[in-house]
Amino acid sequence: MTRPASRSATPPATEQRPVRHVREHERRVASCTACQLHASRTRAVPGEGPMDAKLVLVGLAPRRQEDLKGVAFAGGARNVLDNAMLAAGIDPAGVRITSLVRCRPPEDRSPTRDEVATCAPHLTTELDLMEPEVIVSFGAFATAVLCGRPVTIEQIAGYRLAIRRGVTLIPTYHPVDAVRGVPQAAAALRRDLVAAKAVLDGRLRTGAEVLEELRSDEVVGS
């Protein structure tokens, strides 16, 4: 009879590889000096949460509290986000939270186009390593980079888009917008996290399925 594998046994090399690569990615972000933002940061924010998460949340850039703590979201925005996840039936501990730009822009200004372009490969690497099923992007900036075209969040929030490798992208408002009382932001954030959970559970069509249906409607209507 074959003995069951011990829980403490060293996993095979193939299982270790993704974790090792994510650690390398995190080290690379932490020591990155590729753009001017490295000079004024306290800490770069590599992202947090499990490497095998099927849901990834992508924000814009660290702000003051995130810069000090080295975490992806902190303070009021973190409370709003955690509460919205719990209300949607999502365990925050099982979600990867990351950002488009990893170092805080001075005075919490928006990152420049150059800074975004220089930092975006870190996000690409992270997503390649993780292979999530659903990405929720916060705000127009992060959404535009992930879907490859300019957008306004008012127009695109709540859509299910098909992006790279069959991933479903759901754009929504940034939790900071909810803290600031931007109309619709808190309700849209909750709604879109509920949709993300439903896609993960197979109760709602993926972005690829929505796209497929739109294409077949076009063929029928032509």
Closer to ligand SF4 by Cβ: residue 114 or 154: 114
Nearer to ligand SF4, 33 or 152 (CB): 33
Interacting residue with ligand SF4 among 22, 25, 37, 96 (CB under 6 A): 37
Report how far residue 132's alpha carbon sits from residue 158's, in angstroms, rounded to the nearest whole number: 18
Tell whether residue 125 is a contact of ligand SF4 (CB under 6 A).
no
Q: Is 118 in the site for ligand SF4 (CB under 6 A)?
A: yes
Crossing angle between the packed helical segments 139-147 and 113-130, to the nearest 10 degrees: 60
> How far is the C-alpha of 59 from the C-alpha of 73, rounded, in Å?
9
User: By the 8 A CB rule, do 159 and 171 touch?
Assistant: yes
Among 72, 103, 151, 176, binds ligand SF4 (CB under 6 A): 103
Closer residue to ligand SF4, CB minimum distance, 66 or 115? 115
CA distance 209 to 159: 12
DSSP one-letter code for 166: G
What are the tokens at 111? 């990152």
Task: Give the integer Cα–Cα distance in Å for 82 and 175.
Answer: 10
Residue 53, interface with ligand SF4 (CB under 6 A)?
A: no
> Which one of 18-26, 97-105, 141-149, 173-181 is the stretch in contact with ligand SF4 (CB under 6 A)?
97-105
Give least dist CB 143 to ligand SF4, A. Answer: 19
Q: How many residues does the chain have?
A: 222
State both tokens at 98. 């990351």
Rule CB under 6 A: is residue 119 a binding residue for ligand SF4? yes
With binding defined as CB under 6 A, does residue 182 bind ligand SF4?
no
Among 22, 25, 29, 142, the residue binding ligand SF4 under the rule CB under 6 A is 29
Chain-centre distance for alpha carbon 119? 14
Sign of CA dihedral 119, 190, 195, 221: negative
How many C-alpha atoms does 46 have within 13 Å on its Cβ side?
A: 17
Toward ligand SF4, which CB reaches closer, 63 or 190? 63
Pick one of 60, 97, 101, 156: the residue that binds ligand SF4 (CB under 6 A): 101
Among 22, 26, 35, 195, binds ligand SF4 (CB under 6 A): 35
By CB under 6 A, tell whether 38 contacts ligand SF4: yes
Residue in 19, 21, 34, 43 binding ligand SF4, rule: CB under 6 A:
34
User: Residue 206 in 3-state DSSP?
Assistant: coil
Interacting residues with ligand SF4 (CB under 6 A): 29, 32-35, 37-38, 44, 101-103, 115, 118-119, 122
